[in-house]
Amino acid sequence: MTGAASFRVEVPPPADGATRGRIGRLELTHGVVETPQFMPVGTNATVKALHPDDLVEVGASIILANTYHLYLRPGHDRIARLGGLHRFMAWDRPILTDSGGFQVVSLGDLRVVDEDGVTFRSHLDGSTHRFTPELAIEVQQALGSDIAVAFDQPVFPTSERAVVIDATDRTHRWAERSLRAHDRPDQALFGIVQGGLEPDLRAASARFVAALPFDGICLGGLAGDETAAQREATIDVAVGELLDDPRPRYLMGLGSPADLLEAVHRGVDLFDSVLPARVARNGQLWVPGGRLNLMNKRFLDDPEPVQADCPCLLCRSFSRAYLAHLLRARELLAYRLATCHNLTFTLDFMARIRAALRSGTFPAEMPELALRAGPTSGSAVAEKSA
């Protein structure tokens, strides 16, 4: 452990096993994060369209920034010279950086994986680059995030078993190299569990990563092309191996409220996704019980707010008609207002889950929370907005 993070379970799961959901308190260099918690994604050192004050107002206590994107542009050395990522983007609360593994594998063009690292071509200009566990850590240490993540080789959840075994074994070797390379004392380091959807591989990966001195455990390789049932079964296997483990558990890439609710119930503490912000920019506004598609003509004459009881920048001043107009005119304010709303909805939803967990009514309140989350799972939303 680095000593740069301390995690305390304040409300453990009930002894009767009705849920694995729990309340935790994660103390980091730049502040405290209550869990379960959702992290908005600031890919290019900005959560698209939002000022840091907007982020505070929507209730964000921690955000994620992408190592791959910041390495390519503007460059981690430049950010370090300018005082580090917090100073650069004027965000003084915690930041988690991912390792770049997912982007290198999914965005990079060329993408040749060998034992030492990954060679890939930039999605920006086609230039050739190489990521190794050591470089991924060096970049994150230069950025100065509160939490860095070990470099891994993700695979699509439904890949063939031989492919999953190969990538998972390599991820384990890279986890050890990431640990050896990391020496920034004010930065925590999380390890990543892989193993695809195969229960034995996922369990073995969870045991391997849990045996290493990481500050937290990420569940990688999910929120991809798997079904909800496959994802839930895989979470159960991994969390089942971690029940007595004192560290936070982070499921990478999950973002629809219905999916978040189910994963909290199964024992996950941290989440991130571009989904709420991305669908907002496409005119999909999340409201209790479902969503409104503001591109629908009927909203052009609707004087009501998007959600009457919502305190966000959009709902407290503007009508559905105004936002529908801005979106059609592609006015820039639309993106800020819509993003503020969907992140307010998502972070408020997490706060409702925490309140239920804290008061001991969580599994009983799940049907009510599921109604509020609406019927749409992340994969369905992502398809519609792609």
Q: Which amino acid is at 59?
A: G
Minimum distance of Zn ion from residue 273's CB (angstroms): 19
CB 26 within 8 A of CB 215: no
Is 316 strand, coil or helix?
A: coil
Beta carbon nearer to Zn ion, 45 or 312: 312
Question: What is the Cβ-side half-sphere exposure of residue 325, based on CA atoms within 13 angstroms?
Answer: 9
Minimum distance of Zn ion from residue 56's CB (angstroms): 16
Residues that bind Zn ion (CB under 5 A): 310, 312, 314-315, 341
Annotated catalytic residue 166? no
d(CA 278, CA 283): 9
Spot the catalytic one: 54, 152, 215, 272. 272
Spot the catalytic one: 54, 98, 146, 348. 98
27-33-38-41 Cα dihedral, nearest 10 degrees: -70
d(CA 270, CA 21): 12
Beta carbon nearer to Zn ion, 274 or 323: 323
Token pair recorded at residue 31: 């502040």
Beta carbon nearer to Zn ion, 191 or 283: 283
d(CA 34, CA 3): 18
Minimum distance of Zn ion from residue 348's CB (angstroms): 9
Annotated catalytic residue 302? no
Query: Which residues is 129 bridged to in the sheet?
Result: 120
Give burial (CB, 10 Å; 0-12/13-18/19+) of 113.
middle
Beta carbon nearer to Zn ion, 235 or 310: 310
CB 9 within 8 A of CB 24: yes
Minimum distance of Zn ion from residue 310's CB (angstroms): 3
Minimum distance of Zn ion from residue 87's CB (angstroms): 30
Find the helix or strand (DSSP H, E) in which 21 lies. Answer: none
Beta carbon nearer to Zn ion, 136 or 312: 312
Name the residues annotated as catalytic. Answer: 98, 272
